[in-house]
A and B are shown apart, each in its own frame.
Chain A
Amino acid sequence: MSEQSATTQRRSTLTYWLLIAGQWLLLTLALTGAMVRSSNALRDYVSPNISDGWLLACALLTGLLFGVTVISPKALFPLAITACLVAAVVFGLAIYMPAWQGTLFRSNSLANYAQQQALFFWLWTTIPAVIGGMIGYLVAGSVRRALEIRRDGSDDDHTPWWERPTRTDARNNTNP
């Protein structure tokens, strides 16, 4: 493989992981939004308040979407778990925010309550997210392989798109 081809491949891999990082950020925001809307802690203050089922569905969908896009299981599950963790931390901070602003007294009971709610929501969303990730990974893997076999006519090349040589690489390789 030429040096130019290796550089192009590195760029494609970097682009891929940047896209995954963007997806992680977006899905973390989606989970946080769902947590804030479905939590009992904020039910008296925020409307509309959706049921817990929507939060579970959102966590499952988050896992599914990660399962479709992330090919490596080594990255898939940490991504799903950290998305739930960061969403739960942001949710806990949102509960405690009025104390920082001085609207409420900075009591230990509020801090403990925010922490307890964040921990609960982290656990509550991690389970469906991991299950969704497994389902997405298995289903997307099969679909991806089936599509590639149909397109290429053979199942020899299972290289993901970001590792395949581009047309420019192919031209460069054929040139003497």
Chain B
Amino acid sequence: MRAFWAALAVSLILGIAGAVSLVAAVSEYNSTLETYTELSIRYEPDSFVWTEPDFSLATTRMVIVNDSPADATVESLNVFLHFDGEFAGTNYERFPGVEVPKGETRVVTLNLQVSTPSVQPRGGTAQLSLAGSARVKFERVERDLHLPVRERIGVVPAEGS
């Protein structure tokens, strides 16, 4: 009987300590991750250009700003081009990897290829947007982080039209 209540008392102490530890750790995990995700990958306004008049190829520039507390390397950047929210194409070329020391900015150019023939004629009139992810390796962090990339471009007619 006494052992029963003693075991319950120890369980109570452990449970309270565990709950406090869990809440503190999860909150610390989220806030630390948020400081790492201060690395932003944004679309450079007006940089999207159709390089083929049939809307099959385009180029765009992305600005990588590293406001995180650590040096970073963007190891891959996969962006999907959407016409009015519908998948149209992506950057099929292999991304070379870009080192971005903390506090610095890099600009990368992406070649986008439209690979959905059914939506291709709408390239000059559709609302364009980019969605995808970047795999980033931070100094002092063992596991790579996948950061979301989501940008609205707007309507971009073919050059000369």
**A interface list, Cβ under 8 A from B:** 19, 22-23, 25-27, 29-34, 36-37, 40-47, 58, 61-62, 65, 68-69, 90, 94, 97-98, 101-107, 109-110, 113, 140, 143-144, 147, 161
Listed by A's residue number, 11 A-B pairs whose Cβ atoms lie within 8 Å are: A23-B8, A25-B15, A29-B19, A31-B18, A33-B19, A40-B142, A44-B141, A65-B14, A90-B22, A94-B26, A103-B30
Q: When the two chains form the complex, which single residue of A25, A33, A47, A68 contacts B3, counting CB atoms closer than 8 Å?
A: A68
Q: When the two chains form the complex, which single residue of B6, B14, B143, B146 contacts A27, counting CB atoms closer than 8 Å?
A: B14
Contact B148 A102 (CB under 8 A): yes
* Alpha-carbon distance between A102 and B150 when the two chains are bound, in angstroms: 11
Q: When the two chains form the complex, which single residue of A68, A94, A105 contacts B29, counting CB atoms closer than 8 Å?
A: A94
**How many contacts between A and B, using CB within 8 angstroms?**
121
Contact A44 B25 (CB under 8 A): no
* Alpha-carbon distance between A140 and B142 when the two chains are bound, in angstroms: 44
| CB nearest neighbor in A for B22 | A33
B4: chain A residues at CB < 8 Å are: 68-69, 161
| CB nearest neighbor in A for B78 | A105
Known A68-B4, A94-B29; judge A104-B18 contact (CB<8 A): no
B20: chain A residues at CB < 8 Å are: 33
B145: chain A residues at CB < 8 Å are: 104
B34: chain A residues at CB < 8 Å are: 103
* Alpha-carbon distance between A106 and B148 when the two chains are bound, in angstroms: 8
Contact A30 B37 (CB under 8 A): no
Indicate the member of B1, B4, B28 with the most A CB atoms within 10 Å: B4
* Alpha-carbon distance between A41 and B4 when the two chains are bound, in angstroms: 36
A43: chain B residues at CB < 8 Å are: 142
* Alpha-carbon distance between A102 and B1 when the two chains are bound, in angstroms: 50
* Alpha-carbon distance between A37 and B146 when the two chains are bound, in angstroms: 23
Known A26-B15, A27-B15, A98-B30; judge A46-B25 contact (CB<8 A): yes
Q: Chain B nearest CB: distance from A152 CB in Å?
A: 12
Q: Does B108 contact A (CB under 8 A)?
A: no
Q: When the two chains form the complex, which single residue of B3, B37, B133, B148 contacts A143, counting CB atoms closer than 8 Å?
A: B3
Q: Does B21 contact A (CB under 8 A)?
A: yes
Known A30-B17, A103-B34; judge A37-B142 contact (CB<8 A): no
Contact B28 A104 (CB under 8 A): no
Proximity bits, B19-41, A CB within 8 Å = 1, else 0: 11110011011101110010000
| CB nearest neighbor in A for B30 | A98
* Alpha-carbon distance between A65 and B5 when the two chains are bound, in angstroms: 10
Q: When the two chains form the complex, which single residue of B18, B21, B140, B146 contacts A44, counting CB atoms closer than 8 Å?
A: B140
* Alpha-carbon distance between A104 and B141 when the two chains are bound, in angstroms: 15
Q: Does B11 contact A (CB under 8 A)?
A: yes
